Amino acid sequence: MSITHFPGGASSSPLASPLTKVTMPTLSEMKRQGKPISALTAYDYGTSRLLDEAGIDLVLVGDSLAMVVLGHENTLAVTVDEMLHHTRAVRRGVRRALVVADMPFGSYHGTVAEGVANAVRFVKEAGAEAVKIEGPRIELVLALTEAEIPVVGHLGLTPQSVNRMGGYRVQARSVETVRQLKADALALAQAGAGALVLEGIPREVAAGITAELPIPTIGIGAGPDCDGQILVFHDLVNLTFTPPAKFVRRYGDAAALFRTAVEHYREDVEHRAFPSDEESYHLPDEVRKSLKPGRNTLTKVGVIQKA
């Protein structure tokens, strides 16, 4: 597969094809043409490479890393340095998809200048092509846009607000909160956000925002009417060790696959069935012959004593 490094590929249209690099303008063009955007999270080289080769349009290094990779209870504990470390790995695995890095909790909640400085690190030190921030942080989105850093907004159920929300609850279920969410979405788009993740909101609300907004929406637990969909990779393949949320569809059972493989390996080791002779290295014939008992004695691998 060859990838052109000219924005939008060799053709004048930025619409994603298997051969062209996905950029922020590609996502807008996909919305315009009604082509659904596929997105998944990834946190390492191998997974991100598989997603990219499978044609996923957007790879998000989500702060869900904190939970599914690092084993924290929620997303709040993950640090900028940890997110940078994993974003670098993902960047190395991806050639076509748009790589978006999640700004972790605390990295953009102080001054706008601190938020911009942290976002610059994701672009400069880790190769992110956009950053995602939760909530209607309009001043910050304006400043990031001014600083040439593409922004993906994130509204609705924003996991970094878990303590304020009192748990992970579906948002925007009253007239007032629906109106507020719509206003926030519009304000983010006007401030320069290039796409918007809508999480944990009623389908009807997501559909209304998607129809009204000039930028693409990417839903998770927001129904099928968004311009694209995103899931946490570990949810998709059953690697989360918890019952899935209502909106998760399991497309594979990696836990069963890995568990069976590891159990078979352990049994084979315990029964000396692994490795076999075919899976072992051997001395060349002439060396083996010259080491016959009486001439030389092989006492341990690599150490030959004269008899």
Q: Give catalytic residue positions.
A: 199
Closest residue to ligand KIV: CB criterion: 62
Residue 87 binds ligand KIV, judged by CB under 6 A: no
- Shortest approach of ligand KIV to residue 248 CB, angstroms? 11
From the list 62, 104, 115, 153, which residue makes contact with ligand KIV (rule: CB under 6 A)? 62
Applying CB under 6 A, the site for ligand KIV has a residue count of: 11
Residue 193 CB partners (closer than 8 Å, separation 6+): 141, 145, 151, 152, 153, 215
Smallest gap from Cβ 234 to ligand KIV, in A, equals: 9
Is residue 232 close enough to count as binding ligand KIV by CB under 6 A?
Answer: yes
Q: Angle at the Cα of 251 (from 250 to 252), degrees rounded to 5?
A: 95
Question: In the complex with ligand KIV, which residue's Cβ is closer, 39 or 123?
Answer: 39
Q: Which of residues 101-160 bind ligand KIV (CB under 6 A)?
A: 102
Dihedral-angle region of residue 55 (phi above 0 means left; psi in -120 to 50 means alpha; beta otherwise): left
Residue 41 binds ligand KIV, judged by CB under 6 A:
yes
Among 57-65, 89-97, 118-126, 202-210, which window interacts with ligand KIV (CB under 6 A)? Answer: 57-65
- Per CB under 6 A, does 64 bind ligand KIV? yes
Residue 260 CB, nearest distance to ligand KIV (Å)? 27
The nearest distance, CB 60 to ligand KIV, in angstroms, is 6
State yes or no: residue 228 binds ligand KIV (CB under 6 A): no
Q: Which is nearer to ligand KIV, 9 or 205 (CB)?
A: 205
Residue 184 in the binding site for ligand KIV (CB under 6 A)? no
Q: Does 42 contact ligand KIV by CB under 6 A?
A: no
Output 149 or 195, the one with its CB closest to ligand KIV: 195
Provide the binding-site residues for ligand KIV, judged by CB under 6 A.
41, 60, 62-64, 102, 197, 199, 220, 230, 232
